[in-house]
Amino acid sequence: MRILFMGVILFAIQLNTLQSRPVVHLQPHRNAIEVGWNGSLLELIHAPPIVHLPKLPPKADAQGVPWSVEVKNLGPSPVTITNETTHFDTRVSVGQSIRIKSSGTAYLLKH
């Protein structure tokens, strides 16, 4: 009984954590990640083959927290996330999630 109770508690905590982060989607015929999506989960569904990060890497917010976005590719095809200005380029396979962080001058994969 105690194990079941602990399992329910852990599940509730995970649900609460997932709900605290906004989930966003690309609008039809769009291929750009918006600066305003800072801290969001971007779910890619039938996304174009190439999706662009903001041209200039965003600076940290007023509290000093770096700009970041988590990208989850729900399919049906791989997607390349790119930024020509900083020469950032990464491929996101179907079912894969990645987190991209901005240093203010470049984009980095955050592990």
How high is the pLDDT of residue 20?
Answer: 80
SS3 of the chain: helix, strand, coil, percent, to 5: 20, 30, 50
56-80: pLDDT as tens digits: 999 999 999 999 999 999 999 999 9
pLDDT confidence bin for 3, thresholds 50/70/90:
low
Between the alpha carbon of residue 34 and those of residues 1, 2, 15, 39, 54, the distances in Å are 47, 45, 26, 11, 6
41-52: pLDDT as tens digits: 999 999 999 999
CB atoms within 10 A of CB 73: 23
Separation of alpha carbons 34 and 76, rounded Å? 22
pTM (predicted TM-score): 0.80
